[in-house]
Amino acid sequence: AIKRRSDYQSPAYVIQHVELDIDLYPHETRVICTTQVERKSADQQPLVLDGVDLQLLSVRVNGADWTNYVEKEQTLVVDGLPDAFTLTIETQIDPANNSSLEGLYKSGDAYCTQCEAEGFRKITYFLDRPDIMAEYRVTVRGNKSAYPYLLSNGNVVAKGELDDGRHFVTWHDPFPKPCYLFALVAGDFDLLSDNFVTASGREVALELYVDKGKRERGYHALDSLKRAMAWDEQTFGLEYDLDIYMIVAVDFFNMGAMENKGLNVFNSKYVLADGQSATDDDYFHIESVIAHEYFHNWTGNRVTCRDWFQLSLKEGLTVFRDQQFSADMASPLVNRINQVNVMREHQFAEDAGPMSHPIRPDVVMEMNNFYTVTVYDKGAEVIRMLHTLLGVQGFRRGMDLYFERHDGQAVTCDDFVQAMQDANQHDLTLFKRWYSQSGTPVVRASGEYDQQARQFKLTLTQHTPATADQAEKQPLMIPVNTELLGNQGTMVQTVLSLTQAQQTFVFDNIDQAPVMSLLGNFSAPVRLYDGQNSSARQHIVMYANDPFSRWDAMQTLYGDYLHCQAGSAGEFAEPISTAGIVELQRSLLNQAMDSPALVAEMLCLPSFETLVQQAEQIDVDALFDARNALLNQLAEALEQDMLAVVQQLPAQAYDYQQNQVEQRRLRNVLWLYLGRLDQHQAALKSHYHDADNMTDCLGALRAAQEGNEQTFDQLMVAFEQRWQDDPLVLDKWFGLHASAPRKDCLSRLDLLSGHKQFSLNNPNRVRALLGSFAFYNPKGFHAKDGSGYRYLTDYLKRIDPINPQVAARLVTPLTQFRHLDSERKSLIETQLHRLLDTPNLSGDVFEKVSKALGIQ
Ligand code: ARG
Ligand code: ZN
């Protein structure tokens, strides 16, 4: 069913107290939910509770059996009720058969829950909406030897023994919360304990629960948590509020992690790390996800969303907060580059496709489909623009006012912007349009220099092309970081505010025609066309103040070059020569030891996926081949320069520490080139075998994957032997196989899906294998005969009945076909129709497929 943001109505009934009694059995878990309900509406409308896949056992009102109810269409409609009453509902559920990983389910030997967005209704009949905030008291019962830990939100208030080897624990969470923040975990774990003393001197117990035997891999996560807690105190004055903070790592999880009050549940991928088994990127992501979920305690839990259309209220803001934290912990520049790559690869693609939506969507069929790169990452970009506009202190004032006004409430994105506005007396009326308008704005720049008047006029225009969801677009408030460069370096550095369709900005006292370096640090989530030629671009690469702009100019040079080589349709500048790129890289290599992080990023070509988003239409094979050819040419031309850098990089025992991370990154980027040369295969194998850490092992494997089939096959065999019993690590191996551009790629996928560690029920495995294929194997997925599309579709038909959320994420590459040729488009359409014709197709997949086919 379609839900609209404009249809919001305040609840007819509210629940302020919940008592849950959960008796755990694999197939017959009993749930008794006792609530204090109050009618808020003036009329006598019935109470409509949400519930999915529940077996109803009894309904009582004020302790007496109640029969005036009906179960229909995933609701329980209770009628004839008094104004205020105690409602007791008993249901039975089957966690062991719950493969959707939503509600209460088994993850391996443990029970756990995932309730956001609308999973609580799979546990009991309830008012499953975030503006119903209640205090919870939860009793969990289970077998004591199998489930020594029985966890829920808040503090333990009672525990004891029961008959038949069972025991119970009762938890109380004093902070009212929406039901999507409820959590329960039962199992046997290794426990890592620590503590944190808050700024005001309160002691908080920190507990991290991981699979037995994985204790040593938990320390980085725990350290990350302490850093995040301290950072939020220092940066935003926000302290933790309960006496205990628990994190549980589970192997079966649909997303990254979940911020349940006082009891985060994490995909074990974002908890477990040691140098042997995890890469620097893994370490980075663990720290950032741990921080993200922690930061939700204020931005999400203490202040939550009124309705799910407001999701970016908590997600955009919390992503921005975790980004700021990561920038403070490590390299701000590399962080920013990675964030911008996510926007250009994935968010631009989403906005250009059938699922385009504003960061605050207006229409939703399945809420789980809106945990998107638009709501999260573009949402964070919008918050970042506010931060740019108001400054560090102004932003902080806004945050303070937001908490002062809304602590303990369920609110809207408008409430957030209003607090920012009022705290700074800064009119944000126009700015708010970012919340309601979808699509990627196109900004064009042109300059006019007047030697006589020593004046430079910069004209900016903006236009947002129509998107699938919105035909009409209006101008937005776009901050444009602007640097004007002369022969002697930077003449002007400022932020321009573009608010109209066209505006001209005048700069006086400019002594020479400048080169324009615009949108520094990606100051707004837009596409920029500045009409400058490749020699202006080279000038930026060499001389811009802003290192981000140097990287970005290099990316544009690569992009224009590759699209021209590949004959893509679109707007590209006259390209630089191959020799020109070689010389630019040579000069970068000369600076490599001084700024390894920047140089490493500047040596990287745009990903294939980013390139696709830059063109109107591409020829998949030509673009892939052009990229590959340039990489080979660069490797051949710069072999000696690259070797010289590799040899200068020091060997050192692994530590996740900034200097080392940057040097490893540079070394592995260089191997991506050198690994293409026959004469360096022995050295590449040594790079793999001599490594004392996963970052270099994986770096060698990636280099071999692109560079040499034989080396790749040999190293992959070695890797599998080493890690065959560790599925989380083996995911890297599944991913490398699935994204390798091999002719026999589908039969390899068949073999891999028969691997003893592969399981269609585990989202990490499915994403590693099929996700890597569909998102990151353009040659295989877009094979001209349509075999890749058919292959994915066959799997989607099998995965959807198991886990609709996973299937719906995996269908994305089949829905973003705008840049492809008409033959491929029609091959894709055939497969989308096959999906649509699947009996019992989930609403999740239906929403995306029907939009892609334009029938909804
Ligand atoms: N709130 C979680 C986070 O971003 C994400 C949970 C989303 N779950 C889902 N089933 N869509 O931290
Ligand atoms: Zn989040």
Strand pairing partners for 460?
A: 445, 503
CB 491 within 8 A of CB 484: yes
- What is the number of the ligand closest to the CA of 181? 1
pLDDT digits (tens, 9 = 90+) for 345-366: 999 999 999 999 999 999 999 9
What digits encode the pLDDT tens for the residues 188-219?
A: 999 999 999 999 999 999 999 999 999 999 99
Tell me how crowded residue 57 is: count the other CB atoms within 10 A of its CB: 12
593-645 per-position pLDDT tens digit:
999 999 999 999 999 999 999 999 999 999 999 999 999 999 999 999 999 99
CA–centroid distance, 420 to ligand 1, in Å, is 25
Taking residues 640-657, report their average pLDDT: 97
Is the separation of the CB atoms in 179 and 117 below 8 Å? no
* pLDDT of res. 856: 77
DSSP string, 38-95: EE-SSS-PPEEEE-SS-EEEEEEETTEE---EEEETTEEEE-S--SEEEEEEEEEE-G
- Tell me, yes or no, if 293 is annotated catalytic: yes
Residues pairing with 30 in the sheet: 23, 92
Catalytic residue (choose from 19, 90, 293, 706):
293
Portion of the chain with pLDDT greater than 70, in percent: 100
Whole-model pTM: value is 0.99
Amino acid identity for residue 525 in this structure: P
Q: Please report the DSSP string for 252-309 in residue order.
A: --SSSEE--TTEEEEEGGGT---TTT--HHHHHHHHHHHHHHHHTTTBTTTBEESSGG
Beta bridge partners of 494: 482
For residue 456, the model assigns a pLDDT of 98
Residue 7 is given by DSSP the state G
Place of tokens 């970052």: 695
Q: Which of 719, 645, 632 is nearest to 678 (CA)?
A: 632
For ligand 2, the distance from its centroid to the CA atom of residue 26, given in whole angstroms, is 30
Judge whether residue 391 has pLDDT over 90: yes
Q: How many residues does the chain have?
A: 856
pLDDT surpasses 90 at 758: yes
Candidate from 102, 116, 128, 253 with most ligand 1 atoms within 8 A of CB, to mutate: 116
**Would the pLDDT of 723 be above 80?**
yes
Residue 110 is predicted with a pLDDT of 98
Q: What is the pLDDT of residue 392?
A: 98
Average pLDDT of the chain to the nearest whole number:
98
Give me the torsion for CA of 285, 288, 290, 296, rounded to 10°: -140
Q: Report the distance separating Cα 224 and Cα 325, nearest Å.
A: 11
Q: How far is CA 339 from CA 92, 323, 329, in A?
A: 44, 9, 15
Q: Whose CA is nearest to atom 8 of ligand 1?
A: 116
- CB–CB of 442/464 below 8 Å? yes
Q: In whole angstroms, how large is the CA radius of gyration of the chain?
A: 28
Band of the pLDDT at 804, cuts 50, 70, 90? very high
Cα–Cα dist 216/190, whole Å: 10
Residue partners of 126: CB distance under 8 A and separation at least 6: 15, 33, 35, 49, 50, 51, 120, 132, 179
CB contact set of 431 (below 8 Å; sequence gap of 6+): 385, 386, 389, 417, 477
What pLDDT shows up at residue 325?
98
d(CA 549, CA 517) in angstroms, rounded, equals 7
Mutation probe of ligand 1 site: the residue of 115, 255, 285, 375 with most atoms within 8 A of C-beta:
255
Alpha-helical runs (H) found in 183-277: 219-236
Which amino acids bring their CB within 6 angstroms of ligand 1? 116-117, 254-255, 257-259, 292-293, 315, 368, 371, 805
The DSSP line for 525-573 is S-EEE----HHHHHHHHHH-SSHHHHHHHHHHHHHHHHHHHHT-BS--P
The per-residue pLDDT for 738 is 98
- Average pLDDT score over residue span 687-693: 98
Q: Which residue's structure tokens are 């091999």? A: 742
104-120 residue pLDDT tens: 999 999 999 999 999 99
Cis preceding linkage at 117, omega within 30: yes
Which residue's alpha carbon is at the smallest distance from atom 7 of ligand 1? 116
Question: Is the CB of residue 34 less than 8 Å from the CB of residue 88?
Answer: yes
Residue range 562-585: mean pLDDT, rounded? 98
Q: What's the pLDDT at 463?
A: 98
Atom of ligand 1 at shortest range from CA of 102: 10
Share of the chain above pLDDT 90, in %: 100
What is the tens place of the pLDDT at every residue in 227-248?
999 999 999 999 999 999 999 9
From ligand 1's centre to the CA of 829, what distance in Å?
30
